[in-house]
Amino acid sequence: MADNLDITSVLTTLREDTDDERISLGDIVSSLEGRGFGPLLMAPALIAFLPSGAIPGIPSLCGILIALIAVQKVFGKSHPWIPSRLRKADFDRERFSEGVDQIIPVTKRIDRLFKPRLTFLFGPVISRLIAALCVIFGLLMIPLELIPMAAAIPALAIIFAAIGLSTRDGVMLVLALILFSVAGYWAGTEFGFL
């Protein structure tokens, strides 16, 4: 199945496909792995961006999952492999559901904006470049966890990239590239590299 989910669909799929008090990263992968790489990248990025991203350890776990998924896209894998230990990592479902309830009215309005545009951007070279940036910025979420909610900045860039991949919307890819630049510059100044 091709990438074909918008933000609202990814969030509702995660909420409805998980019944326990805890959601594991394995649950997320199982719910979305048949939908392509876009939704698989979007889900952990959304978790890191929502209030659930304030839970200690969640931005790092999400960043590692994003990097693992994206690096496999870089190398042309059709289905991602996730280590069993990472699949078992979990977080509170209720807190995630509360965040979903708060943001769904907004995502429904946003989702109407997505449509196939600038589809020439979806060749293998640019898709792999976007995946490589997702690897870098997924890993960047680990040190950014030390600053409250700072991991939300690269998470937002990854969300835009994943939306672009999921909906074949080149405008979203362009916005993702701009956000990657902003996140990279901000992180560089924050950590004294720039």
For residue range 21-54, list pLDDT tens digits in order: 788 877 777 777 666 678 888 889 988 998 877 8
| CA atoms within 13 Å, Cβ hemisphere of 75 | 10
Q: Are 161 and 174 in contact (CB under 8 A)?
A: no
In this structure, how many other beta carbons lie within 10 angstroms of the beta carbon of residue 154?
Answer: 31
Identity of residue 87 = R
Question: How many CB atoms neighbour CB 115 within 10 A?
Answer: 9
Res 80: pLDDT: 73
Phi, psi for residue 10 in degrees, rounded to 5:
-65, -45
Domain ranges within the chain, ordered by starting residue = 7-190
pLDDT at 143: 92
Are the CB atoms for 151 and 144 separated by under 8 Å? Answer: yes
pLDDT at 139: 95
Q: Please identify every stretch of the chain with a pLDDT value under 50, giving residue numbers as ranges.
A: 1-3
Residue 112 CA: distances (Å) to CA of 45, 126, 139, 144, 189: 20, 25, 31, 31, 35
* Closest by Cα among 71, 74, 90, 76 to 29: 90
